[in-house]
Amino acid sequence: MHPNATCGPKTGPSFTLITRTQPKRIVVKLGTGVLTHGIGQLDTARIESLCAQLAALHKAGTEVIVVSSGAVGLGMGRLGLTKKPKEVTKKQACAAVGQSLLMQTWQRGFDPHGINVAQVLLTHEDLRERDRHLSIKSVLNQLVSYGTIPIINENDTVSAAEINALLKFGDNDTLGAMVAGLIEAQHLVILSTAPGLIDMKGTKEIVPVVEKITPEIEAMAGGTTSETATGGMISKISAAKLAVRSGCGVFIASGAEPEILPRLFSGTGPGTFFVPSGIPMESKKRWLAYYQRPSATIFVNACAVPVLREQGRSLLAVGITGVKGTFAPGDIVNIAFDGTGESTLAKHTTFARGKVAYSSAEVTAIAGQHGDEVRARFPSRKRLDVIHRDDLALL
Sequence ranges of the binding site for ATP: 29, 230-236
Alpha-carbon distance values, 166 to 12, 72, 291, 358 (Å): 40, 19, 12, 24
Distance of CA 77 to the CA centre of its chain: 28
CB distance 25 to 249 below 8 Å: no
CA dist 267 and 25 (Å) reads: 18
249-254 and 149-154 strand pairing: unpaired
Residues 254-275: b if buried by 16+ CB within 10 A, e if exposed? bbbeeebbebbbebebbbbbbb
Task: Tell me the torsion sign for CA atoms 373, 379, 382, 386.
Answer: negative
Residues marked as binding? 29, 69, 156, 172, 230-236
Binding residues for substrate, by number, are: 69, 156, 172
Report CA-CA distances (Å) from 62 to 20, 59, 105, 122, 187: 14, 7, 22, 23, 11
Residue 139 CA to residue 134 CA, distance in Å, equals 9
Distance CA 30, CA 49 (A): 13
135 Cβ contact partners less than 8 Å away, ≥ 6 residues apart: none
Nearest to residue 237, comparing CAs of 204, 212, 202, 267?
Answer: 212
- CA 324 vs CA 64, 108, 327, 341: distances in Å: 42, 52, 9, 20
Q: How far apart are CA 169 and CA 165, in angstroms?
A: 9
Contact 357, 388 (CB under 8 A): yes
State the DSSP code for 379.
Answer: T
Q: What is the DSSP letter of 391?
A: G
